[in-house]
């Protein structure tokens, strides 16, 4: 689990869940691209749970996941689901309603 604890408690905490299938090329790309995307959030305000469906296959069924990689933004609302390797950073940021950091 990747965590970056809030330094400013007034900022919303972003929570994500990333479903992957082992070390497949798409899973590796999704993890790497998500790390890059998280740099667009203010420091210290996100939490990511990574679920490998090869290690936890029942989570896929319990959570209704039909394809991997799948990223779910749990908070702040609205909940958003994105599938794929998250390679189009601009579109991913737009879908997740995240503004890019000023220094990028």
Task: List, as one string, the DSSP characters of 9-76.
Answer: TTSPPEEEEEEE-TT-HHHHHHHHHHHHHHTTSPTT-EEEEEEETTT-HHHHHHTT--SSSEEEEEES
What does the block give as tokens for 67? 């394809």
Contact 20, 50 (CB under 8 A): yes
Model pLDDT, residue 15: 95
Model pLDDT, residue 43: 75
Model pLDDT, residue 47: 93
**b/e 17-41 (16+ beta carbons within 10 angstroms → b):** bbbbbeeeebbebbbebbeebbeeb
How remote is the C-alpha of 15 from its chain's centroid?
8
Cα dihedral sign, 35-55-71-98: negative
Q: Would you write out the chain's pLDDT as a tens digit for each of its 104 residues? A: 555 554 555 556 899 999 999 999 999 999 999 999 998 888 778 999 999 999 999 999 999 999 999 999 999 999 999 999 999 999 999 999 988 654 44
Model pLDDT, residue 7: 53
């Amino acid at each position: 689990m990747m965590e970056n604890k809030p330094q400013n408690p007034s900022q919303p905490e972003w929570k994500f869940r990333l479903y992957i299938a082992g070390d497949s090329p798409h899973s590796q790309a999704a993890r790497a691209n998500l790390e890059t995307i998280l740099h667009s959030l203010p420091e210290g305000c996100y939490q990511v749970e990574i679920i490998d469906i090869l290690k936890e296959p029942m989570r896929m069924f319990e959570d209704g996941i039909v394809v991997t990689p799948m990223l779910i933004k749990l908070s702040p609302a609205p909940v958003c689901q994105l599938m794929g390797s998250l390679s189009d950073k601009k579109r991913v940021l737009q879908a997740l309603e995240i503004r890019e950091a000023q220094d990028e």
